[in-house]
Amino acid sequence: MSDPLDRVNAAESFDAVDIIRTKRDHRDLSDDQIEWVVDAYTRGVVAEEQMSALAMAILLNGMTHRETARWTAAMTASGERLDFSTLRAPGGGVRPTADKHSTGGVGDKITLPLAPLVAVFGVAVPQLSGRGLGHTGGTLDKLESIPGWRAALSNDEMMAQLEGVGAVVCAAGAGLAPADRKLYALRDVTGTVESIPLIASSIMSKKIAEGTGSLVLDVKVGSGAFMKDERQARELAETMVALGLDAGVKTVALLTNMSTPLGLTVGNALEVEESIEVLAGGGPEDVVELTVRLAEEMLACAGVHDADPEQALRDGRAMDVWRRMIAAQGGDPDAALPTAQESEVVYAPADGVLVELDAFKVGVAAWRLGAGRARKEDSVQAAAGVRLHAKPGAFVRAGEPLMTLLTDSSDRFGRAKQVLEGAAVIAPAGARPAQRLVIDRVA
C-alpha cells in the first residue's frame, strides 16, 4: 500500500530536494520555485529539516534582488493583508498611513513617543510591534508595564482606533505573514538568522502585509545592535528599501548609532517613564533627536511637509494623543508605573571622562536583571532594568554613581554586575570624539 504522504507529494509542482540542490549549487531559484516552497512549507508539505537545509544554502550562497523580492512577496501572500484605504482624514479624503520599524537596540523606546507625535499631524500610524528577546527590548513588553494596557486587538478594533485616535501600537495578528512566523522560529534554532535576504524578507513581508502606505526603517549599527558592522547594516537597509519600493510602499531608512544605549533608561517601565518625559517636552537629548528625525521622515513619506514635530512635543499635542492611545487600549495613562523592589548602585572607579558605555553589555545586564527573556515563553519583570547616571562625554568622579541596577530579585545582581565589567571606559583627561546619532540616510 502506498504512503498517503507520497501521494500528496506526487501532486505537488516541485520537489523540495531539487530546490535545495539548486541553491546549494549556487544557482538562482525561479519565481515558481520560490512561490511553491514558501507555500508548501506553510502548509506542512516541506519538512522542517528541508527548509533548514534551504535556509542554510541561502545563508551561504545568498539571493539576487529578484529572488529576495519574490520570496518576500510569497511570504506576504501566505496570509491576510490589511487595507487602510478606507481611513478618512479629518478634513475629508483618504488618511495617509506611515509606520516605523527598528532593527532593535538597547534603550530603544522611540516608538512610544513617535507614534502619537506623527498622529498629531493627521497621519495614521498602524504600529504592529513585538516582544523582546535577549538583550534587545520589546515595545509590547514596555507598554504592558502600564496597568490595564492590552496588546491584542482585532482588526476592527485597530481600524476604529486609527480613525478615532490616529495611532495604535499592538501585536500583529496570527493572520499576517504566517510563513514568516514559522520560518523565523526555524532560523532561530538552525544558525541561519544572519542571512540578509532572510532578515530583509522577514521584516518587509510583515510590514507590507500590514498595509501601511509608507515606512521608515531605523537600522541600528554598533555593539548593542544586531548589525555590528556598518557595511552589513547598509546592505540590509538598501535591500529593505528596495523591497518596500517594489511592493509600492514608500520606504526610506536611517542608519543610527547603537554603540551606546539610547537615553538614560533600559527596561520596560523605566523606558515608559522616560518616553513620557519626552512627550512632556523634556527627556534625554538623543531620544528627542531621534524621535523628531524619524517623525520628520515619516511625515515626509506620507506627504506632510509643513509640520514641526519638535514643537508638537513642547506644546503638549503629542502627549494628548499618547493619553488617548493608551486609554483606547485599556491602559490608565495616570496610573503609577511598577517600581523595583531591589536596587544596587555601580560607582565610577576613577575621575575622568566617560568615553565609552557599551550598549550590548548594558542590555545584557538589564536582561539578566529580569527586563528581558531568553525564550519567547519567558515572562519579564516590568520594573527591572538599568538607570544610567552618565553618558559618554560626561566628566565623572571616583565614587559617583554611574548606573543603578533595578530588579525584584536580589539574586540577579551578581550576574548583571559580572557582564558590566569593562562596559564603562573612563579616560583620565581629554574630550570624547563626538559620535553622530544618525549615521546616514538610505532611500
Residue 234 appears among annotated catalytic residues: no
pLDDT of residue 5: 46
Q: What is the pTM of this model?
A: 0.92
DSSP string, 175-192: TS-HHHHHHHHHHHTTT-
Q: Each residue of 8-50: pLDDT tens digit?
A: 455 688 999 999 999 999 999 999 999 999 999 999 999 999 9
| pLDDT one-digit tens code per residue, 189-227 | 898 988 999 999 999 999 999 999 999 999 999 999 989
Catalytic pick from 180, 246, 286, 358? 180
Q: Report the pLDDT value the prediction gives residue 279, as an integer from 0 to 100.
A: 98
pLDDT number for residue 442: 97
Quick check: is 187 catalytic?
yes
Catalytic residue among 206, 207, 220, 293: 206
Region at 92 (left for phi over 0; alpha for psi -120 to 50; beta for the rest): left
Residues of the chain falling short of pLDDT 50: 1-2, 4-8
Using N-to-C axis directions, what is the helix angle for 196-210 and 65-76, rounded to 10°?
40
373 catalytic per annotation: no
Catalytic residue among 187, 220, 250, 293: 187
- Asked about 206 being catalytic, the answer comes back as yes
Give the start-end residues of each E strand in 148-230: 167-171, 214-221
Q: How many Å apart are CA 141 and CA 52, to the nearest integer?
A: 30
Q: What is the model's pLDDT at position 134?
A: 67
Q: What is the pLDDT of residue 432?
A: 67
What structural domains and CATH numbers belong to the chain? 4-62 (1.20.970.10), 98-328 (3.40.1030.10), 342-427 (3.90.1170.30)
Q: In the 3-class helix/strand/coil scheme, how is 91-135 assigned residue by residue?
A: CCCECCEEEEEECCCCCCCCHHHHHHHHHCCCCEEEEEECCCECC
Q: Residues 78, 102, 129, 202: which is the catalytic one?
A: 202
| Predicted pLDDT of residue 93 | 80
> What is the predicted pLDDT for the residue at 2?
43
Task: Choose among 167, 151, 195: nearest CA to 52.
Answer: 195
Q: What is d(CA 38, CA 34) in angstroms, rounded to the nearest whole number?
A: 6
| Short-list 292, 291, 250, 240, CA closest to 96 | 250
Q: Which of 101, 207, 220, 293 is catalytic?
A: 101
